Each structure stands twice: as C-alpha cells, then as structure tokens.
Amino acid sequence: MLGRLSEEFGGALPSVIWAEQQRLPAGLLEEIVEARAFAAAWRANAADPERWQTSALRILAKTIEHELVLESTDDDDAE
C-alpha cells in the first residue's frame, strides 16, 4: 500500500508516506486516492461517453451522475 500511495503522490518516499499516514486522520490518504480515481473515471466518461461500461469505476461514476441529475430534477419539481 505504501508503494501505491507513493506512486499516487508523485513518487514520495515510502518513509514520507508512512509519516503522513501517522500524522493525518486514518484513511485520509486512501480517500484521496479513491477520489482521484473516481475523478479520472468521470473524466473518461465525459471524454468517451459511449464506453462508460468498460470498468466498474466508470459504471459507478455514470450511475452517480445519473442519480444526481434525477435528484436535481426532483428538486426543481418541488419548487
């Protein structure tokens, strides 16, 4: 896991990643990695909307986007 986090954060030394994990709230670095992966999936869907079913994360991004649109439409109808 330290290696993966190191890659995600510009090749930071594992000792730096370890120190940050000890300093920051538990799981924060992992949440950042997940958020970046989700953002990349969303951008991939925006760039190539026909292939949104090519990965589980792209499917999740599309599903969430769809739910947000429905929520927004429901909010508009309530007004």
Helix 56-78 / helix 28-47 crossing angle, nearest 10 deg: 80
Tell me the domain boundaries of the chain.
2-78
- Confidence at residue 78, expressed as pLDDT on a 0 to 100 scale: 67
- Confidence at residue 56, expressed as pLDDT on a 0 to 100 scale: 95
CB 5 within 8 A of CB 29: yes
Reported for 62-68, long-range contacts at CB under 8 A and 24+ positions apart, including other chains, are none
What does the pLDDT look like over 27-69, one tens digit per residue? 999 999 999 999 999 999 999 999 999 999 999 999 999 999 9
Q: Quick one: pLDDT band at residue 74, thresholds 50, 70, 90?
A: confident
Tell me the torsion sign for CA atoms 62, 50, 33, 1.
positive
- Confidence at residue 47, expressed as pLDDT on a 0 to 100 scale: 96
pLDDT exceeds 70 at position 79:
no
